[in-house]
Chain A
Amino acid sequence: MHTAFAAALTVEVRKFAASRVVRTATVLVVLGIAVLTGSMTAAAEAGNEEILAQLGAFADAEGWDRLAGVAAQITGAGGLLGFGVVLAWAVGREFAEGTVSGLFALPVSRATVMAAKLTTFAVWTAGVAVALVTVLAVTGVVAGNGAPDAEAFAGLGRLLALVVFSGLLAAPAAWAATLGRGLLPGIATSIGTVVVAQVMVVSGTGAWFPVAAPSLWAMRPGDVSAVQLALALLVPLISGLLAMRAWSRLQLDR
Chain B
Amino acid sequence: MSELRLQTRNLTRAFPGGAGVHGVDLDVTAGQIHALVGLNGAGKTTLMRLLLGMLRPDSGAVRLGGCALGEAGAATWARVGHLVGHPLAYPELDAESNLTVAARMRGVPRPRIPAMVARALAELDLEQYARVRTRVLSSGNRQRLGVAGALQHDPDLVVLDEPTNALDPAGVLLVREALLRRAHAGAGVLVSSHHLDEVARIAHRITVVNRGRTIGTLDPEGVEIERAFFALVHADDERRKGCTQPSRPR
Contact = CB atoms under 8 A, between A and B. Distances in A.
A15 B15 CA distance: 35
Contact of B49 (A15, A18, A106, A252): A252
Contact of B88 (A19, A102, A107, A108): A102
A19 B91 CA distance: 9
B93 A98 contact: no
B176 to A, nearest CB: 22
Interface stretch (A3-11, A60-68, A122-130, A225-233): A3-11
Contacts of A99: 86-90
Contacts of B149: 102
A103 B102 CA distance: 9
A66 to B, nearest CB: 40
B105 A103 contact: yes
Interface of B is mostly: loop
A252 B77 CA distance: 18
Nearest to A8: B105
B101 A105 contact: no
A101 interface: yes
Chain A interface residue bracket vs B: 20 to 34
Interface string B94-138: 000100011011110000000000000000000000000000000
A7 B100 CA distance: 11
A97 interface: yes
Contacts of B78: 107
Contact of B54 (A11, A20, A252): A252
Contacts, number: 87
A94 to B, nearest CB: 9
A206 to B, nearest CB: 38
Contact of B86 (A14, A18, A101, A105): A101
Interface of A is mostly: helix
Given A18-B92, A18-B93, A251-B56, A101 B101 contact: no
Given A3-B107, A11-B101, A107 B86 contact: no
Nearest to A18: B92
A239 B27 CA distance: 41
Contacts of B105: 7-8, 11, 102-103, 106-108
A253 interface: yes
Contact of B104 (A10, A101, A105, A253): A10
A107 B107 contact: yes
A18 B86 CA distance: 20
Interface in A1-35: 3-4, 7-8, 10-11, 14-15, 18-20
Interface of B: 15, 49, 52-56, 73-75, 77-78, 80, 82-93, 97, 101-102, 104-107, 146, 149, 159
18 contacts: A3-B107, A7-B104, A14-B93, A14-B97, A15-B90, A18-B92, A98-B85, A99-B88, A99-B90, A101-B49, A102-B85, A105-B53, A105-B77, A105-B159, A106-B106, A107-B74, A107-B75, A107-B106
Given A102-B102, A105-B54, A108-B107, 11 more contacts: A4-B74, A11-B101, A18-B90, A97-B90, A98-B86, A101-B88, A102-B87, A107-B73, A107-B74, A107-B78, A252-B49
